[in-house]
């Protein structure tokens, strides 16, 4: 907590330093350089009044600044909205206080002091008011705004970790174009106009009084040198500040883009302004969040379907509305599951089931299938949907053979661990189904509906009585083109169908 307070105290000191420099330069010009006032020697009273007046104005500015930035001094006790708004308004508050102070300084030193000393003239009052309030106050206020904005960025990073500066209402938006235009006016147009006025006035005086030409030219040279020196200092200072306000965020954006190019989606750009550059940085961060969410969706979706299917669906090339589709359905079911569960510790059952499902799902995915659901100890999978595949029957049977081989390897590992072997039955059937997203408005799942699904489940049940581990239907057998070896079994009747069903045991 002490470090932010020290930084903020440093901000105030930096702002006061710029006001001191501006006040000293204004005093030098109007009491030493400008011929209209230089004929009256500077007295100790002038210096004392300047010091006292500046001290009063600076003190008043500090008090006003403390009131305006009160939420920032103890943000833990303030509403977050008030803190965030005060943080964004900080450069504007400091600039407004500066302008008010310089306007009061114009009245104090341009009107009140000359009136008090009996040297007040209309022309001198106008020159002093314009020079102190407009020229001196304008340049100093620009310095204060740009420096406060740059120094305050570290605080904004802490107060706005997620960016979203534009979401805070009631805060002015000073665009980059306006900022550059103001700096250009203060560093180029105003000095040129002042030099032109000085040259014109001195030329007119020389023409009216040729005898005073050497003195007038000397005066003009002093004024020109002073204005050029001060103008050059102001131009360099303001240019450095405004260039930094543009270049630094762009460099940070460039660095973050380089990190993203190398695959780092956790890269973030600090959003430290609500101008166009801040909007770009905020948009860049939102883009990264979107990319990360997309990758998360892809990775999560990829746990349920193969990468090929996932990419097809996310690319919009697969319709998930209801449609008639010829597919091959595979059902797999563990044998003697209930006795095994009753004789085994629950956590071990879950671990063994997950191991089994992991091996079987890998076999199905490896051949382009999609596991639709795990139901207790049963697996339902489809081949040929949602991404079409001409050889979906062959893929399903090859997946079943792979599942057989994986179960053999799994049982070997279980035997070495002193565990009983697992057995399963697999039924495969090819036919037409209704495929699509089915469910409630808040929860959908990709599902298949139709007699083909029911018959595939019934064929899986037949493996129990047939004494084999893989059975396929006649329609699946017809689509295989002899690529696997099968053995015909006697036609049998299954629940829900009046006609007998031809089935074939898969040998290899």
- pLDDT of 112-122, one tens digit each? 878 888 777 88
Nearest alpha carbon to residue 326 among 192, 475, 458: 475
Are the C-beta atoms of residues 165 and 139 closer than 8 Å to each other? Answer: no
Any domain includes 312: no
Any domain includes 155: yes
Is residue 269 located within the same domain as residue 331? no
pLDDT(391) > 90:
yes
- pLDDT of 234-274, one tens digit each? 778 778 877 877 888 888 888 888 888 887 888 888 887 77
In sequence order, the β-bridge partners of residue 382 are 329, 370
Last residue of a domain, one of 91, 124, 159: 159
Last residue of a domain, one of 159, 192, 220: 159
Is residue 40 located within the same domain as residue 82? yes
For 430-448, what is the mean pLDDT?
Answer: 82
Any domain includes 165: no
Is residue 94 located within the same domain as residue 188? no
Are the C-beta atoms of residues 71 and 78 closer than 8 Å to each other? Answer: yes
Query: Between 315 and 409, whose confidence is greater?
Result: 409
CA–CA distance, 330 with 471 (Å, rounded to integer): 10
Any domain includes 50: yes
Any domain includes 166: no
Query: Between 367 and 313, whose confidence is greater?
Result: 367
pLDDT(483) > 90:
no
Last residue of a domain, one of 159, 192, 211: 159
For 433-438, what is the mean pLDDT?
Answer: 85
For 380-387, what is the mean pLDDT?
Answer: 91
Query: Between 138 and 362, whose confidence is greater?
Result: 362
Q: CA end-to-end span of the chain, whole Å?
A: 74
Report the phi/psi class of residue 263: left, alpha or beta, with left for phi > 0 and alpha for psi in -120 to 50.
left
The count of domains in the chain is 3
Supply the pLDDT for residue 7: 54
Tokens representing 92?
């504007």
Query: Between 501 and 444, whose confidence is greater?
Result: 501
Lowest-confidence pick of 39-43, 143-147, 363-367: 39-43
pLDDT(10) > 60:
no
CA–CA distance, 505 with 488 (Å, rounded to integer): 6
Supply the pLDDT for residue 162: 73
Any domain includes 445: yes
Supply the pLDDT for residue 496: 75
As a whole-number percent, the residues of the chain with pLDDT over 70 amount to 82
Query: Between 65 and 399, whose confidence is greater?
Result: 399
Per DSSP, the three-state class of 307 is helix
Tokens representing 295?
């990758």
Is residue 58 located within the same domain as residue 141? yes
Any domain includes 204: yes
Reported confidence tier of residue 2, pLDDT bands at 50, 70, 90: very low
Supply the pLDDT for residue 300: 63
pLDDT(355) > 60:
yes
Q: H-helix or E-strand containing 19?
A: helix 2-28
**What does the mean pLDDT of the chain come to?**
81
Is residue 150 located within the same domain as residue 260? no
Is residue 361 located within the same domain as residue 414? yes
For helices 213-261 and 190-208, give the axis angle rounded to 10 degrees: 170
Is residue 338 located within the same domain as residue 470? yes
Reported confidence tier of residue 221, pLDDT bands at 50, 70, 90: confident
Is residue 361 located within the same domain as residue 498? yes
CA–CA distance, 360 with 334 (Å, rounded to integer): 11
The distance of Cα 252 from the centroid of its chain, to the nearest Å, equals 13
Any domain includes 172: no
Reported confidence tier of residue 14, pLDDT bands at 50, 70, 90: low
Nearest alpha carbon to residue 375 among 357, 394, 402, 393: 357
Is residue 127 located within the same domain as residue 193? no
CA–CA distance, 328 with 453 (Å, rounded to integer): 9
Domain that holds residue 123: 1-159
Looking from the CA of 202 toward its CB, the CA atoms found within 13 Å total 20
For 22-37, what is the mean pLDDT?
Answer: 64
Supply the pLDDT for residue 338: 86
Is residue 279 located within the same domain as residue 377? no
Phi and psi, residue 176, nearest 5°: -65, -40
CA–CA distance, 7 with 151 (Å, rounded to integer): 9
Tokens representing 147?
């420096």
E-state strands within 113-266 = none
Is residue 186 located within the same domain as residue 148? no
Nearest alpha carbon to residue 219 among 23, 26, 32: 32
CA–CA distance, 489 with 474 (Å, rounded to integer): 11
Is residue 48 located within the same domain as residue 143? yes
CA–CA distance, 116 with 124 (Å, rounded to integer): 14
């Amino acid at each position: 907590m002490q470090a932010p307070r020290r930084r903020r105290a440093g901000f105030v000191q930096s702002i006061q330093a710029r006001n001191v420099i501006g006040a000293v330069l204004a005093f030098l010009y109007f009491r030493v350089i400008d011929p209209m006032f230089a004929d009256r020697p500077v007295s100790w009273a002038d210096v004392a009044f300047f010091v006292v007046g500046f001290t009063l104005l600076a003190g008043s500015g500090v008090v006003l600044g403390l009131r305006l930035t009160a939420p920032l001094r103890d943000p833990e006790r303030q509403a977050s909205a008030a803190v965030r708004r005060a943080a964004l308004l900080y450069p504007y508050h400091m600039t407004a206080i500066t302008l008010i102070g310089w306007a009061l300084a114009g009245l104090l030193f341009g009107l009140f002091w000359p009136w008090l000393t009996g040297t007040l003239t209309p022309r001198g009052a106008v020159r002093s008011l314009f020079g102190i309030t407009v020229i001196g106050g304008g340049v100093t206020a620009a310095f204060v705004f740009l420096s406060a904005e740059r120094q305050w960025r570290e605080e904004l990073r802490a107060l706005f970790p997620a960016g979203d500066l534009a979401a805070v209402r009631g805060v002015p938006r000073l665009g980059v174009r306006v900022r550059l235009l103001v700096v250009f006016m203060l560093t180029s147009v105003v000095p040129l106009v002042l030099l032109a006025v000085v040259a014109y006035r001195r030329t007119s005086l020389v023409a009216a009084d040729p005898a005073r030409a050497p003195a007038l030219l000397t005066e003009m040279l002093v004024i020109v040198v002073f204005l050029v020196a001060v103008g050059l200092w102001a131009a360099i200072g303001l240019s450095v500040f405004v260039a930094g306000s543009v270049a630094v965020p762009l460099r940070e954006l460039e660095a973050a883009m380089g990190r993203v190019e190398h695959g780092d989606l956790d890269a973030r750009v600090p959003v430290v302004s609500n101008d166009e550059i801040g909007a770009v940085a905020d948009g860049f961060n939102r883009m990264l969040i979107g990319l990360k969410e997309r990758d998360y969706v892809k990775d999560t979706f990829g746990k349920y379907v193969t990468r090929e299917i996932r990419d097809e669906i996310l690319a919009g090339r697969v319709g998930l509305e209801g449609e008639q589709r010829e597919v091959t359905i595979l059902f797999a079911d563990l044998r003697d599951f209930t006795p095994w569960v009753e004789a085994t510790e629950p956590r071990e059952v879950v671990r063994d089931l997950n191991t089994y499902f992991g091996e079987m799902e890998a076999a199905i995915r490896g051949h382009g299938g999609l596991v639709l659901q795990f139901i207790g100890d049963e697996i339902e999978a489809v081949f040929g949907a949602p991404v079409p595949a001409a050889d979906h029957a062959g893929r399903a049977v090859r997946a079943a053979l792979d599942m057989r081989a994986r179960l053999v390897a799994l049982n070997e590992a279980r035997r070495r661990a002193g565990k009983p072997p697992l057995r399963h039955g697999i039924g495969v059937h090819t036919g037409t189904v209704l495929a699509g997203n089915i469910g409630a408005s808040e929860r959908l799942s990709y599902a298949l509906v139709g007699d083909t699904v029911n018959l595939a489940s019934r064929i899986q049940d037949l493996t129990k009585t047939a004494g084999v581990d893989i059975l396929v239907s006649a329609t699946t057998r017809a689509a295989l083109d002899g690529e696997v070896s099968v053995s015909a079994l006697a036609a049998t009747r299954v629940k829900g169908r009046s006609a007998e069903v031809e089935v074939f045991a898969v040998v290899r």
